[in-house]
Amino acid sequence: MTIIFLLIGLSLLVALVFLAGFLWAVRSGQYDDAYTPSVRMLFDDEAPTEPTAPVRRR
């Protein structure tokens, strides 16, 4: 039954990985804006039909 110690240790380790993942996600700002990314992902990355240099304004 001593295997339980190992198994519990491993399961905790896995859980800790998920916790770390969550903390990282919060830290990187993924919870700051829950709306804009949902719109942004639907934009097409259409290539310009003719190679145009970005227009420079004075």
Partner 1 sequence: MRVMAPAQRRPELCGPTPLCPPVPAFLEQTATNLACAHCGDACPAEPLRLAELPFCCAGCRTVYELLNASQLCTYYALGERPGLKIKEVELPGRFDYLASEAVQAQLLSFRSAERGRLTLHVPQMHCTSCIWLLEHLPRLHAGVVEARVQFLRKEITITYLLADISLPEVVQLLASVGYEPQITLAELGAQPHRASHTLYYQLGLAAFAFGNVMLLALPEYFSFVEDLQAGFGRFFGYLSLALALPVLLYSARGFFRSAGQGLRQRHINLDFPISLGLASLFSVSTFEVLSGRGAGYFDSFTGLVFFMLIGKWVQQRTYDALRFDRDYTAYFPVAVTRLTPAGEQSISVQELAVGHRIRVRHQEVIPADAVLLRGAGQIDYSFVSGESTPVARAAGDLVYAGGRQLGGALELEVVRGVSQGYLTQLWNNPAFTKDAAGPTLETYANRAGRYFVALTLLLAAGTLAYWGPRDQATMWRAFTSVLVIACPCALSLATPFAMGAALRVLGRHKLYLKNAAVIEALARADTLVFDKTGTLTDPTQSAVQYHGRPLLPLEKQLIATAAAQSTHPLSQRLARELATEALPLATCQEYSGQGLKATAASGQALRLGSAAFVGASAGGPALAPETSVYVALDGEPAGHFTFRNVYRPALPAVLAALGKRYRLAVLSGDTDAEGPRLRALLGPAAELRFGQSPADKLAYIAAERAQGHTMVMIGDGLNDAGALRAADAGIALTDTLTNFSPACDAILEAGELGRLATFLGFSRACLRAVLATFVLSLCYNAVGLTLAVQGHFTPIASAILMPLSSLSVMVVATLLVRWAARRYHL
Left if phi > 0, otherwise alpha if psi is -120 to 50, otherwise beta: which for 10? alpha
Among 3, 6, 41, 44, binds partner 1 (CB under 8 A): 44
36 binds partner 1 (CB under 8 A): yes
Query: Residues near 31 by Cβ (< 8 Å), separated by ≥ 6?
Result: 25
41 binds partner 1 (CB under 8 A): no
Residues lying near partner 1 in the complex (CB under 8 A) are found at 1, 4-5, 8, 12, 15-16, 18-19, 22-23, 26-27, 31-36, 39-40, 42-44, 46, 48-50, 52-57
